[in-house]
Every structure is written in structure tokens, then in C-alpha cells.
């Protein structure tokens, strides 16, 4: 009997943070093996809250017994942790172009890497992570667990408002839900007369994982000379958000699995009487 065609179906999203309790020059698993399903990987991004560079870090491919070196990459100080340093986009780094980007693409021209279910990815960093700091790895893609295509069914929108009363408390930009969602866009407008630094995190229901930091410009979308701020297509996060495209190849999207959310926190509260609004649009897989 011929093998049955298996298509990707369920979104795959995995985050892990290494902290001061971790040790430099040790190979840590950043994408674990899966006992059931092969995975299609679209993106791998790293943030680093420490103020030191990590030179010549190693990405490994492991079959469960042996680690195979894929290449070396530098993780800059405060990568994804301030408004001037982007998160480190490992997947599209030219160092790994022979295996990751520019190796295999779908019919929309989106590059991906197939990770067999018994294989994993590991990473070795090269400098000490001091107390209170973390290096966070975010990997996303899809699982080969379906035999038919799954499509979205319901329009999804959510607005988060940050006011002076919000302060620097974390606030959901996209709340957790019982179903997967496809995110097409995230936009911010501000009536504040001062730019505000916003840290954006993924949350798996338990833990917050920093994915990038952005400056929300004063009066974004509140002036004919200052456009609303596009948080989805921002260059600081293109390693995660602008990676997968729909069947027409026109709209990029990011799949947020059930139980996951996206939140943000401001470094300094919005001016009293003013506000920042963040609008998200997409579809749901219901």
C-alpha cells in the first residue's frame, strides 16, 4: 500500500528561556524531539536581555545520540530588549542558508526546514547570563499531523488600550483562546505626546517570553504627518511574523496556537488623559 500524503495542520510554537542558572558552553535543547510528528519550521528568533555579546554561539542538529554542528552565530547584547537592537533572526541568517533559508520553499515561496520527529535543535551560548537576565528562543512552524487542509472560518479582531492607569503592568494584546488563530496584522496608534517603549511577549499560559521591543512614536496615527505604527511588519520581528503566506501569496500571517497569548508592557506609563491603542486582526481556526 502506498504511503498516505500527510499535510501540515496544527501550528507549532515553542519557546524556552535560558537564565543565570544555565551554563555557558553547554548544548541546551531549544526545539525538543517529538514522539509523534515531524515538524515544518518557518522561523527561529532569539532575544537576549543581558548587556554582553555572545560571540560564536553554536546551533546544533541532534538525532538523540549525536549533536551535529550547523554553524556559528553572534547574539548581540540586548538583542530584542531595546528599541535599537532587533531580535536575532537565526532562520534567515546567511550562515545557515544551506539548510534553513534558501533550501526548501513551499508553492508560495516561503522557506522552511523539515525537522523529523525524533530530531531536535540545540544551542550553545558563550558568555555568562547574569542574575535577572535571559536568552529566549522562539521557534514556530507546523506539524505534519493532517491529511486534509484546514482553513480559517471566523474573522478575529481585538483592541488593547494602554492608559496612564495601566502603568507598566503587562496587558494582553491578544488574549488566550481555546482555538488556534491566524494573525494578519497588529497596528498601534497613540495620542501620547511622548514616544513609549513597549516590550512584547508570547505567553504559553504560564510563562512570558520576550520576542521584541519597539518604540511607539508620539502621536502615531494621530497626526496627518505621523502614520499609525505597524507592529507586525516591523523589521525587528520579521524573523517570526513575516514568514508564512496564504494560498494567494498576498498576505503574511502568524499562527498563534490555542492557549497562547501575546502581551505587552510599557517601560514608562502613558501620560495621564492620553492613550495607546493596539489593534489586531486575523481569522480563527474553529
Rounded Cα distance between 120 and 64, Å, is 7
pTM for this model (two decimals):
0.94
Tally the residues of the chain: 286
What's the pLDDT tens digit per position in 103-141?
A: 788 877 788 999 999 999 999 999 999 999 999 999 999
Domains and CATH numbers, the chain: 11-143 (2.60.120), 154-285 (2.60.120)
pLDDT in tens, 177-203: 999 999 999 999 999 999 999 999 999
Q: Which of 40-54, 231-245, 257-271 has the lowest mean pLDDT?
A: 231-245
* Bigger pLDDT: 236 vs 208: 208
Neighbours of 47 (CB within 10 A): 26
Please list, in sequence order, all residues whose beta carbon lies within 8 angstroms of the beta carbon of residue 224, skipping any fewer than 6 positions away.
none
> Which regions of 19-78 does DSSP assign to beta strands (E)?
28-31, 39-48, 54-62, 67-75
- Arithmetic mean of pLDDT over the chain: 92
Confidence at residue 187, expressed as pLDDT on a 0 to 100 scale:
96
What pLDDT shows up at residue 99? Answer: 85
Q: How far apart are CA 196 and CA 157, in angstroms?
A: 24
Mean pLDDT (whole number) for 9-13? 93
Q: What was the pLDDT predicted at 251?
A: 79
Sheet of 208-216, strands arranged across: 171-174, 261-266, 196-203, 208-216
How confident is the model at residue 1, as a pLDDT? 43
Q: Is residue 91 within 8 Å of residue 237, measured between CB atoms?
A: no
Per-residue confidence (pLDDT) for residue 281, from 0 to 100 = 96
**Distances in whole angstroms, Cα of residue 252 to Cα of each of 15, 103, 117, 197:** 21, 20, 26, 25
Q: Where are the alpha helices (DSSP H) in 20-123?
A: none
Place of cell 492607569: 165
Mean pLDDT of the region 239-258: 79
pLDDT of amino acid 82: 95
Amino acid at each position: 500500500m502506498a504511503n498516505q500524503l500527510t499535510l501540515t495542520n496544527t501550528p507549532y510554537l515553542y519557546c524556552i528561556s535560558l537564565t543565570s542558572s544555565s551554563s555557558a558552553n553547554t548544548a541546551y535543547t531549544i526545539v525538543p524531539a517529538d514522539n509523534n510528528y515531524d515538524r515544518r519550521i518557518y522561523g527561529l528568533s532569539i532575544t537576549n536581555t543581558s548587556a554582553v555579546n555572545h560571540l560564536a554561539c553554536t546551533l546544533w542538529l541532534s538525532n538523540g545520540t549525536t549533536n551535529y554542528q550547523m554553524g556559528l552565530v553572534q547574539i548581540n547584547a540586548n538583542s530584542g530588549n531595546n528599541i535599537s537592537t532587533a531580535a536575532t533572526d537565526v532562520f534567515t541568517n546567511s550562515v545557515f542558508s544551506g539548510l534553513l533559508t534558501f533550501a526548501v520553499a513551499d508553492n508560495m515561496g516561503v522557506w522552511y526546514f523539515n525537522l523529523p520527529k525524533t530530531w531536535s535543535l540545540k544551542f550553545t551560548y558563550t558568555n555568562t547570563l547574569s542574575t535577572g537576565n535571559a536568552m529566549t528562543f522562539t521557534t514556530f512552524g507546523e506539524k505534519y499531523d493532517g491529511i486534509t487542509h484546514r482553513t480559517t472560518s471566523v474573522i478575529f479582531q481585538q483592541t488593547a488600550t494602554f492608559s496612564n492607569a495601566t502603568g507598566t503592568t503587562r496587558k494582553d494584546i491578544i488574549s488566550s483562546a481555546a482555538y488556534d488563530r491566524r494573525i494578519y496584522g497588529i497596528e498601534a496608534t497613540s495620542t501620547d505626546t511622548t514616544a513609549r517603549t513597549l516590550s512584547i511577549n508570547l505567553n504559553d499560559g504560564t510563562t512570558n517570553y520576550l520576542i521584541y521591543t519597539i518604540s511607539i512614536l508620539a502621536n502615531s496615527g494621530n497626526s496627518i504627518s505621523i502614520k499609525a505604527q505597524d507592529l507586525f511588519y516591523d523589521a525587528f520581528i520579521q524573523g517570526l511574523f513575516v514568514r508564512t503566506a496564504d494560498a494567494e501569496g498576498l498576505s503574511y500571517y502568524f499562527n498563534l496556537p490555542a492557549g497562547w497569548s501575546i502581551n505587552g508592557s510599557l517601560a514608562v506609563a502613558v501620560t495621564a488623559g492620553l492613550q495607546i491603542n493596539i489593534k489586531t486582526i486575523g481569522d480563527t481556526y474553529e
